[in-house]
Structure formats: C-alpha cells, structure tokens
Chains A and B, each alone.
Chain A
Amino acid sequence: MPDKPVPAFACAVVALNGGPSDAQILRLVLELAKPAHAEVVAVHVVEIDWTLPLDADVAQRSEEAQRVLDVAENQAEHAKFELEAVLVQARDVGAALVDEAVERDADLLVLGLPYRKRFGGDFAIGRTVPYVLKNAPCAVWIAREAMPEEHRP
C-alpha cells in the first residue's frame, strides 16, 4: 500500500509585491495548501525610508498597498480558502519577510521575481531575494516570471 504523501508545507508565507506574479504564486500555493489544510499567510511589506519614522502613516493611507492584499483575499475566497493577510511596514523587505516567517514558524516562504535587467544587460535579482535565500530558515520558493519576448534569444 503506497504511503500517504507528505504535505509540502504546514504553513506558508507568501510575499506579495503588487506585481503580475502575485496571482500566479498565490494560485500555486493555494492549490497545494487546500488538500493539505495548510495555513497560508499573505504578506505585503511597505519599505519605509529612513527619513520617516517606522510607524509613519504610510501603508494604511496607501490604497495601492491595501489593494495588494485585498486582491489576494479575493483570490483565496474564489478558491474557497481562507488566508491571513498581513500588511507590514519595515526598513528592509527581505528582513521583514524572514522575520514574519520565523515568527509564524512557517516551513515555506514564497516570493515572486519579475524578469528585469540591470542597466548594462545583466539580469537584476534585486536585494530581497538574495537576502531571503541566505537568511530564511525555512524552505524558499522563488517563482520568476516568464522572460519577455524581446529578451528571448
């Protein structure tokens, strides 16, 4: 008799940045979480510049920031899944994501990565993804968007 498959995760933190990859990574995580009855936490981090206090009234006033999580909640509702949405203000996005994952004892952290190129032509991975890959104690999935037509060989 085959062994019961082990769920991929019990608690996943999904980092949303408001980009087109949000829907894709959320759909992927929800598909896996639903049969396993896993917990999914959608996190959107608003980076606060050092010129402002950390608790400045930025994210709450920002419709854009609120909409990122509202869209995620709506997507989960359509998939008949209840996720927790968390809006965070921090100095550094990567650190905030890792700290959220640690606080929630998550065993998976999922991020989307847009396909961007630096000035000069190299692929730009940014600061957040390397930080998370280096510091997150749990498993990390990075979902990179498809390469645009103009960049394809």
Chain B
Amino acid sequence: MIGGRRPLHGRKVADRRVHVGRPHAPYFRYTGPGMLTAKAAASMAPAASRGPAQTIRRFLFGRRLSNEEEAFERLPKKLALPIFSSDAISSSAYATEEILRVFVVAGAGALLVSIQMALAITGLLAVVSLSYRQVCRAYPSGGGAYVVARENISHLAGLVAAAALLIDYVMTVAVSTAAAVAQVYSVVPQLYDVRIEIALGAIALITVANLRGLREAGLFFASPTYVFVGMTLLMIGLGIVRIAGGAGPVTAPPVDRIVPLGTQVLGIVLILRAFAAGSVALTGVEAIANGVPTFKPPEAKNAANTMLTMAILLAVLFIGITVVADAFGIRPTGEGGPTVVAMVAAAVFGDGTLPFLVFQASTALILFLAVNTSFNAFPRLAAILAHDEYMPRQFGFRGDRLAFSWGIVALATVAGVILVIFGGDTHALIPLYSVGVFVCFTLSQAGMVRHWLTVREPGWWWRAGVNACGGILTLVVLTVVTSVKFVDGAWLVIVLIPLQILVFLFVHRQYAASRAQVALRPDQVAPEPHRHERVVVPVSGLNRAVIQAVNVGRSVSNDVRAVLVAEDPVYAEEVRMAWGRQVPGVPLVVVESPYRALTGPFLAYLEVLDHSWPPEKEAPITFVVIPEFVPRHWWERLLYNQSTNELRRALLGRPDTVVTSVPYRREESDAFRRPEAAGEPD
C-alpha cells in the first residue's frame, strides 16, 4: 500500500512486522543526503496531458534516454565517418562543376587547366586537414575554431569564428539540399518545378532523424555514404580504364543546354575565381574537430584518424572526377540541365543503366546527408555558445534523445527559409558558402600557432609550422574568395558575421546583467521577512472558489481584503449583504465601474493602497490572490478564466506585488454536493 503500513503477523506470536510504503520509488531514487534522481516516469508528461501528441512524439522520436545512456550514443569510427564527413565527401559531387563553370568562359583551353586547379585545391586540403588533426588532439572537448580562437587569440576572435561557422552550417544545409535535388532532376527533369518542396521534405526528414539521436542518425546515414564512395571510386576506376583504352570526348547533351564556350583571356583573375569556386571542396573539413566528444574513447585519436580517412577519400574523389570529366570533355550545362558529375556517370556507366541510377541515387542521398554534418555540428556549437552565454540557454538543453533539440530545429528552419528565398538554386547559394568556412580555417590555424607557441610540447615547432602554413594559405583563399564573390553574394556574409556577433554580445550582456542583479555576496545571509504583507483578493461574487482564495490569503497575512469590481450596483449590494453574513472578518471593498472595465479599476485600487501607505514605513508586499477555476475539458478554457488571465498579465512586473493563483477544481465541488460530505467548505 503506497504510503501506508500494514501490520503482518509472523510465525511466532510476538513476531510482527510492518511493510513501509515507498511513495517516491516509481519517480525518484535517493542518491545522496537530500538528493533525489528523477526516473523516466517522473520526466513523463502528467497523465492528464498525455494524448495523441505524446503518442506521435514517442513514435517519431523514440523513448527518452537518460544521461547515463549518453555513452552508448558515442560513435565508433565507421559510423562517425559518414556522419561527420558526408558534407566534405559530398562536395566532390559539385566542386569540379564549379571550377568548370568559371573556366568555360575562357574557352576549351581553359578547361584543360581544371586538373591542375583540382590538384592545387587538394594541396590546400592536405594542409588544412593536417592542421585540423592537430586541433582534434589539442582540443578533445570539441568546439573547433570557436574554442581554438577564443582560448588562443581573443574572445572576439572566437565569436567571429563562431558566427562564421554558424552561418556556414546553415549554408551547408541549404547548398547541399539544393545540390541533392539538382541530382534528382538531372535524372527526372520533370521534378525541377517541385524542387523546393522536395528540398523542404528532405530537411524535415533529416531533422526528425537527428532528433531521434546521434547513434540512430548514424545508422540511418552510414550506408548511402559508403555506397556513394564505392560507386564513385568504381566510376573513376572505370573512367580511367576507358581513358587508358583511348576513349575520347563523349556525346554531349543538346547544344542549347550546354554553357557555351567563352573567349575571355585565361588570366590571373579567372584562375583565382576558379580557385575560389573550387575551394568549396574544403567545406565540411572542420566538422570532425567540432564533434570530437561524440567519438568513442580515445576520442581525440579516433577523431584525428577519421579526419585523415576523410581527407584522403575527398582528395581521391575530387581529383578523380575532375580527371575523368576533363578526359571526356564534359562541360557544365545551364539551368535545369544535368550536373557535371551526372554526365560523367552517364559517360562511364551509360545513361539510364542500373549503375548510373545507383550512382545518381547515392549522390543525391549523400548530398542530402551532407546536411547531416551540419545537424550535428551546429547544435553542438550552439550549445557551447549557450554554455558561454552568447546564445539563449535553451540551445544548451538536451531533448528526450540526448540531442540538442533547439539547435536542430533552429537550423532546419533558417535553412528552409534560405532555400525558399533563393529558389533552391545551388549556384546562387555557393557564393555565400565558402566565406564563412575560410574565416574559420584562418582563425583556427592562427589560434593553433599561438597554442603551440604557448604550450611548447615536444614537436611544437613543426606543428606550429604546419598551422602557420595552413593559416597563411587559408587567409589568401579567404581574400580571394571574398573579393571574387563579393558582388555575387559574399557581401551578405560579410554583413551577417558582425550582426551575429552583435547578437552574441547582446545576449551575453543580458545574462551578465541579470546575474549581477540577483547575485548574493558570499558573506550575505538571507534575512528574516520584515516587510508588512497584505492580501488583496479580486472577486466576482461569493462562491466556493472565492472562499478558498480568501482562506489562502488569510494563511499569508491577517491584513486581507476582497475587492469586487462591479458594473451593476444592485448586484454589488447583494454581494455585500451576503459577504457580511457569510465571510465575517474579511472586509469587502466594492469598486463600481461605470466604464465597464475590470482590470483597470483593480489596478488603480492597488495604486491607491500604495499611495495611502505611510511614506516613512517600508513599502509592504501586496499578495494578489486570484481564484481560478480549473477546467476539466479543453473547450472549457474558452469559457472560463479570461478575466483572470487578463488580470494576471496586467499584474506581471508590478513592483512589490506577488500574484498567486488558487485553483478550484470541479471535483471538490462535486464532493461537497454529496449528502455524506458534511461540514463547511474549506
């Protein structure tokens, strides 16, 4: 019997015992003196509010996970690779095309330089990856460029990196989704007109998968990534075999779809533009460094090794696709046409063949899944910023499945809006994409140089050298990317980063100010209450709910009065007569309201009370005790408590005023109506 004691007789006459109830057991367990730990049952919604919404939630997101289960959500390397590397690896699906789109304006000769450009970009990739491996080892708590820049350069530098990263993650979701949809309508051109809807649906699906938790997301995302890598390596291999066998340019798509060859001179500007465009291949490289804590132990070592695997894969895929595209003379097409990688696949596997369709499907899938890298990194970075009080604290909360729900939903929402605004066009979005990435790269490398110069661990000199080299290179790329893409859209990122930083600083200032206002000095001891307390009970008449509220008020203070704001003087008089008879000892103040207002006259009466208080005495605390009827059904909420809610809102923030609601439940009224329930209402 919960909470009860049932005496039991033993085998011998004097042997009696009592079973003691443990009412806390279903909800809590004692884990220390004065400490309780909530069980899953305590974290569930109250029975009254459990309904279809809770069932759907459970179906979509699964059961709640406790903090102790967090370890089981850690990722082994083979799951971490697809989760954190799908963004980087998938960029090989469009990086080549971005280079070709720039070179095509300079004619066929310029297209031949695409391989050298790809090699140059791969060189940069090698330096950046090597640098980030060091970030993984030096900062196993994650946070990537933000933590590195904050700890080694300045807080402001950290915020610049954080702002750039957050913008970059949003753009990753938008760009990758748009690119994935482009793969889809490369195969089924009729879907071009519904590309936005497909993109938003994909984002919604990935959002739900991430809200289910990291491990489940990994299991969902692993296969398509590995299929894409396998198919692309097969495509590159077959392509090289065919090239070695003498295969030449392939039959191109209809002339009106291909971007025509231009006649511009292949000068330094064009080369830099191509480099800036192709450097989109490096996006996503930092994700592993941000997510080191999610790896199984030893976290830093596993993350660094995964980084190396990712870099090698990306380099092979990027260069391979560029080589095959160049050998087959593939040129980019206009809006709505097939992508370069789709044309490469058609040339190697044959258009419409099963391997071609599998490759296209896996490419579309990995581009969708590249989004997932951001869904892991963005919420984690937002949580770190929330912990440092640069973002609202809600971003640090973990949901039912140990995922940072607020960050996930925020990312999905903003990315969806951007997709809609830009009409789902990859090429319109890419200029915004690379700037943030290279800001982070530059700041993190600079931060790592200072880190090695400070700690001077064994090998610090060559490590600092690697990071310095990486930082200089990425600074050059950042300058190039910003200048060549400035008019195309990079200016927006340049504007957004400072705006985001202002928001960070504003939030930080707010939290610091409110903390300072409520802080206690260490030597301060809480004083006994010393101010006079008075109770004012707003009433609409004389009933059980009002009596209950009045009695609660009487338990707070002897200075209790009820206030009736009435439009009808006759009704007011009736209530006064009954009140005097049935509620002795509690004065009733009637405020006639010829203007038919309720809240205003009540507030004015409270003002009058305040002004009547002797100025030499400390201001009293006014408890406004509001009787409230508890509706049993949802539709009753529309019928009751409207004035109560309005009054409560008006009183919120009023100085020296405490607002207390006293709920009155209909079950209590039913109980009093039963003949056997005698006695006065309490």
Q: Which residues of A contact B (CB under 8 A)?
A: 45-46, 54-55, 59-60, 63, 66-67, 69-71, 73-74, 85-92, 95-96, 98-100, 102-103
The reply to whether A99 and B11 contact each other, CB–CB distance below 8 Å, is: yes
- A54-B7, A96-B10, A103-B8 as given contacts; A67 in contact with B31, CB under 8 Å: yes
Q: Which residue of B lies closest to A44 (CB)?
A: B20
B21 close to chain A: CB less than 8 A? yes
Contact with B15, one of A60, A63, A95 (Cβ below 8 angstroms): A95
A134 to B21, CA, bound (A): 30
B5 close to chain A: CB less than 8 A? yes
- B residues less than 8 Å from A45 (CB atoms): 17
- A residues less than 8 Å from B17 (CB atoms): 45, 54, 88-91, 95-96, 99-100
Q: Which residues of B contact A (CB under 8 A)?
A: 3, 5, 7-8, 10-12, 14-22, 24-25, 29-34
A92 to B18, CA, bound (A): 12
A46 to B10, CA, bound (A): 16
The reply to whether B20 and A59 contact each other, CB–CB distance below 8 Å, is: yes
Contact with B10, one of A67, A70, A95 (Cβ below 8 angstroms): A95
A60-B20, A85-B25 known, 13 other contacts, Cβ within 8 Å: A54-B17, A67-B30, A67-B31, A69-B25, A70-B29, A70-B30, A71-B29, A74-B29, A88-B17, A91-B14, A91-B16, A99-B10, A99-B11
- B residues less than 8 Å from A100 (CB atoms): 17
Give, as a whole number of angstroms, the nearest-CB distance from A132 to chain B: 13
- A54-B7, A70-B29, A74-B29 as given contacts; A90 in contact with B24, CB under 8 Å: no
- B residues less than 8 Å from A95 (CB atoms): 10, 12, 15, 17
- A residues less than 8 Å from B30 (CB atoms): 63, 66-67, 70
Give, as a whole number of angstroms, the nearest-CB distance from A130 to chain B: 16
- B residues less than 8 Å from A70 (CB atoms): 25, 29-31
The reply to whether B16 and A54 contact each other, CB–CB distance below 8 Å, is: yes
- A residues less than 8 Å from B25 (CB atoms): 69-70, 73, 85
Can you list the 5 inter-chain pairs with the closest CB atoms, starting with the nearest?
Answer: A70-B29, A90-B17, A99-B10, A67-B30, A87-B20
A60 to B22, CA, bound (A): 7
Give, as a whole number of angstroms, the nearest-CB distance from B420 to chain A: 47
Give, as a whole number of angstroms, the nearest-CB distance from B318 to chain A: 47
The reply to whether B10 and A55 contact each other, CB–CB distance below 8 Å, is: no
The reply to whether B15 and A88 contact each other, CB–CB distance below 8 Å, is: no
- B residues less than 8 Å from A87 (CB atoms): 19-22
The reply to whether B20 and A88 contact each other, CB–CB distance below 8 Å, is: yes
The reply to whether B31 and A86 contact each other, CB–CB distance below 8 Å, is: no
Contact with A55, one of B3, B7, B24, B31 (Cβ below 8 angstroms): B7
25 CB < 8 A contacts A-B: A54-B16, A54-B18, A55-B5, A55-B18, A59-B20, A60-B20, A66-B22, A67-B30, A67-B32, A69-B25, A70-B25, A70-B30, A73-B29, A85-B25, A88-B19, A89-B5, A89-B20, A90-B16, A91-B15, A95-B10, A98-B10, A99-B10, A99-B11, A99-B15, A103-B8
